[in-house]
Amino acid sequence: MEGNKISQSPKSEKLALSGLSLAELEAFVKEMGLPKFRAKQLHTWIYSKWAGSFEQMTDLGADLRLKLAERAKIGSLEQKHLEVSKDGTRKYLFALPDKKLVESVLMTFQDRDSLSACVSSQVGCAVGCSFCATGYLGFKRNLSSTEIVDQVMSIQRESGKRVGNVVYMGQGEPLLNTENVIESIHKLIEQVGIGGRHITVSTSGIIPGIRRLAKEKIPVTLALSLHAPDTMTREEVVPITKQYPIAELMESLREYQSVSNRRITIEYVLLAGVTDSADQARELAELVRDINCNINLIPYNPTFDESGVAYYDRPSIDVQRRFANLASRSGKTVTIRLERGTDINAACGQLHNAYGK
């Protein structure tokens, strides 16, 4: 897409409309020789009525619907698999036009009406966090902004439920695909109608990406996947620490906060005997003391090697609570994440790996 001109796909591939902006839809109908108001009709059917086919667009004539179907399709994603948890969590495996696979999750919560979608930003991931199933897939490619947005729209079309919150916590490192992620955020706000304050971007600590996101000045929440307060442990579990040291990373958070004035979320995975010690809880409290943040503790959701052995163990609930109590001495709000979808392949990369096998 360049200057609102639609980039033509190969003749054999139809243009996916779900994920396009109104300006992009206007460029599409112009190229088809249609009046401009048709773009608004398409926009309404896609984003307000969640139409899954042109046949559902009943205020368009039959000839026009046929003409559109010859040139375009609604979504870019094909649902390959769906798992539904007893707690209502829905885990999707989508195939992209090039047949590569990505995961998305729809989460429901009993104490709130709004639903949250967890979306992927890349196929695979290059960061290689040692506890994450996505890292074992390796990096394949970035997702386009359209492919990111269409995850949300595909979830809404399948579930019939409105997504109120979006978290970029699926496959991939969002801030290694920064421009497409930023463009997709703008589309979620302006086209889908999800407020910026209901969007969270998670990063393993890509400092240039954090600074680029700050420059954009969009009111999203930044979540840092910290996972260890000391360099030695963090280099083990989050190898990119060698490129972006903890001290520089903390400074980039302060810079982000000075521009955005937004509270940051510190994500911290609890791995038994690795990241869950009392000393590490105290170090974490000290590390974030001057940063306006909340701390979200994540009990490890096991991933397994080819022989079925878990890479790490999960700490007991008593250890989790002890860690939370010590970390709260920073004066920050500390929560232990409410788990969703534990009876299905809900953690990043698990469904993709299982489906591949």
- Enumerate the active-site residues: 103, 348
CA dist., res. 203 & res. 71, Å (int): 37
For residue 211, give the nearest of 254, 262, 266 by alpha carbon: 254
Judge contact between 341 and 87, C-beta under 8 A.
Answer: yes
Going by the DSSP 8-state scheme, the letter that residue 192 receives in this structure is: I
CA dihedral 156, 82, 107, 53 (to 10 degrees): 0
Please list, in sequence order, all residues whose beta carbon lies within 8 angstroms of the beta carbon of residue 281, skipping any fewer than 6 positions away: 322, 323, 324, 325, 326, 327
Cα angle, residue 170 at apex, residues 168 and 175 outer, rounded to 5°: 50
| CA–CA separation, 167 and 65 (whole Å) | 34
First vs last Cα of the chain: how many Å apart?
36
Alpha carbon distance 239, 178 (integer Å): 20
Exposure string over 279-302, b if 16+ CB within 10 A, otherwise e: ebbbbbbebbeebebbbbbbbbbe
Cβ neighbourhood burial of 329 (10 Å; 0-12, 13-18, 19+): middle
